[in-house]
Amino acid sequence: MIIVLEHNAGESEKQDLKAFLKEKGFRVREIVGEEEIILGAVGIAHIDLREVEVLPGVARVIPITKPYKLASREFKKEDTVVQVGPIKIGGQRIVVIAGPCAVESREQIIEAAKCVKESGAVILRGGAFKPRTSPYSFQGLGEKGLKFLKEASEVTGMPIISEIVSIEHLDMFKEYVDILQIGARNMQNFELLKKVGAMGKPVLLKRGPAATINDLLMSAEYLLANGDDSVILCERGIRTFETYTRNTLDLSAIPVVKKLSHLPILVDPSHGTGLREKVSSMALAAIAAGADGLIVEVHPEPDKALSDGPQSLYPEQLEKLMRDIEALAPVLSKEVYKLPGYGDDLRMVSIKGSAGSRAAAGRTVSAKAVSGREAKSPGLYKEEPAPLRIGFQGERGAFSERAIYSYFQQDKEPVPFVSFKNIFDALLQNKIDYGVIPIENSLAGSIHQNYDLLLRYPDIKIAGEKKIRIVHSLIGLPDAEIKDIRKVYSHPQGLAQCLKFLEKHSEWEQVPYYDTAGAVEFIAREGQKGNAAIAGREAADVYKMKVLKEGVETNPKNYTRFFIIAMEGKDKINSPDRASFVLSTLDKPGALYLTLKILAESHLNMKKLESRPFPGKPWEYMFYIDVEIPEDQEVFYRSVDEIKKNTDYFRILGIYKS
């Protein structure tokens, strides 16, 4: 059964409830969701549900009807996201696992690892123990193969996955492997499942060649029931009467599993087809069907492979497949997961804002460079806590930096980035603690790019907000006067917000720049008396420039609203009073009206409603809504439950204090 706790349930009530259930013979699992905390009680014990419903802290009790209890969507409504090092499998990202079927030599697996990482895959696969149909086929290198895999992992920074075939190898795999794979032949090896489940490591469970979806979920239940919360399912094809392909890849299993279970599901198109030329097309079809990722066989020289060469991709084929997946992902409102440091996804500007800061843009930097200090163990900072690292877009002196100093009271270290996306990436990579992004200006409207980024990065939540007044100044060189100015640099919004002032000087050339404070840094570096910038007074102070005229904005009631963003888990606060969420309505008349009606009937004060095109889906729209949370938070959570019934897509972006 599922026990949903009241939102104000105390820790003592929760512990008493757990003790009661265990005394009755149940195994109890706690699930903390976005909107509610539930306890799952499973076992062969029988109890009258009313005995539980009357206990303190219990909101409601729901029986689980499926034979697979812990794997059921009834047990957990939200999708499970499995963490493997820095990588999360499930949710809104697509994860690609790649590598050879078998580890053949140290040189082969290291070369393969470099190839797959360069292509954009994030986890390395390779078999050290190979269960083969023929006893005369290559059986793998055993522990030596695991050692080679581990070395390849250390060289590339990629987590590794390998198949375990025997209980005798448990200790060995625990030492070397990040994800244990249960192969198709062992899907119903229940003793192996029990032991692997008790290890607590992430497990990839492949569907057997003659297994039903129910069989697969029941096998997953063995892992979950023995303590493993990190289970990943894998569809790899089933045995049918068709002989042209190695197996029949059952892509219909993906939406079925998604409906029945909260567990993430990957697809193995290599074993599903057995034919190299079919792998890429079926991989893309799997992503389109809703798979959370792929596990693909790739070999530096497939023609010389000791195992499964005909179904292994060449490295260049994987590269093309990854590009195709990246093109497909936005249509599905997803993003392809990449390892930290891949490409130029984390670009930073100089923290000091020196003349060389633009040259620094485009470089990937280490955590040491970002934080400005050597990495130390947490214990070394107990007496003197390190300053919070807070990312913002632009150069030193930007309005976003002012928002940082206005919002955060403790020691802080502003960290400038070239783009808003860089801030999100840095949060994912744990290079900063928080980010500050502008979301709305009282004159120019919403910053849609940042709304779209909040949608693309489901692990990042709104943790707070700050509104500051924007006062623009005309800034020039220390010896400049207004009569000397010929060109004015600023962000396009900065220029637009000062249009009335600029129209009085039609002889000036208006030059758009990527950032207001960056424009001040630019004119300081160029040193030309005829250049000026529009930015805040703080930027003039940072770069030792002169304020030629203050308050040049057209409308003095010019305010920007900033969101404080953080990784999920760091966004929790006491007594939140605001929630932001995004939804898409069902395709039927009055769908949006029904949603707004729920808010009105619940007396929830809506502060904002805005529509945006659904990324990758022409003529379909999403709605961003902000509401006030009343003192009785239960009213809000009940409304959310009702809204979900009338929507096609719903996600809370943040619950915070305004």
Give the number of other CB atoms < 10 A from CB of residue 491.
Answer: 22
The answer to whether residues 256 and 215 touch, using CB atoms and an 8 Å cutoff, is no
Rounded Cα–Cα distance for residues 654 and 463 (Å) = 6
Rounded Cα–Cα distance for residues 202 and 218 (Å) = 17
Q: Characterize 36-50 residue by residue with b for buried, 16 or more Cβ atoms within 10 angstroms of its Cβ, and e for exposed.
A: bbbbbbbbeeebeee
The answer to whether residues 94 and 296 touch, using CB atoms and an 8 Å cutoff, is no
Give the number of other CB atoms < 10 A from CB of residue 232.
Answer: 27
Q: Characterize 508-534 residue by residue with b for buried, 16 or more Cβ atoms within 10 angstroms of its Cβ, and e for exposed.
A: bebeebbbbbbbbbbbbeeeebbbbbb
Q: Characterize 120-145 residue by residue with b for buried, 16 or more Cβ atoms within 10 angstroms of its Cβ, and e for exposed.
A: bbbbbbbbbbbeeeeeeeebbbeeeb
Q: Is 616 helix (H, G, I), strand (E, B) or coil?
A: coil
Pair of tokens at residue 90:
């499930």
Calculated CA dihedral for residues 126, 132, 138, 139, nearest 10 degrees: 70
Using a 10 angstrom Cβ sphere, with 0-12 exposed, 13-18 middle and 19 or more buried, the burial of residue 78 is middle
The letter for the amino acid at 403 is A
Rounded Cα–Cα distance for residues 433 and 426 (Å) = 9
Helix or strand holding residue 532 (H, E): strand 531-535
Any long-range contacts for 358-366 (C-beta under 8 Å, 24+ apart)?
358/518, 358/521, 358/522, 358/525, 361/418, 362/418
Stated length of the chain? 658
Pair of tokens at residue 520:
């001040």
Write the DSSP symbol of residue 305.
-
The answer to whether residues 201 and 180 touch, using CB atoms and an 8 Å cutoff, is yes
Rounded Cα–Cα distance for residues 293 and 605 (Å) = 40
The answer to whether residues 551 and 471 touch, using CB atoms and an 8 Å cutoff, is yes
The answer to whether residues 542 and 450 touch, using CB atoms and an 8 Å cutoff, is no
Helix or strand holding residue 404 (H, E): helix 399-407
Rounded Cα–Cα distance for residues 335 and 458 (Å) = 10
- Rounded to a whole number, what is the largest CA-CA distance in the chain? 89
Residue with tokens 């992004």, as numbered in its chain: 437
Which listed residue (562, 581, 623, 636) is catalytic?
Answer: 562
Please confirm, yes or no, whether 75 is among the known catalytic residues: no
Helix or strand holding residue 579 (H, E): strand 578-585
The letter for the amino acid at 382 is K
Please confirm, yes or no, whether 560 is among the known catalytic residues: yes
Using a 10 angstrom Cβ sphere, with 0-12 exposed, 13-18 middle and 19 or more buried, the burial of residue 252 is exposed
Beta-sheet pairing, 82-84 with 87-89? antiparallel
Pair of tokens at residue 475:
């800034």
Rounded Cα–Cα distance for residues 353 and 37 (Å) = 46
The letter for the amino acid at 263 is L
Which listed residue (80, 156, 516, 560) is catalytic?
Answer: 560
The set of catalytic residues is 560, 562
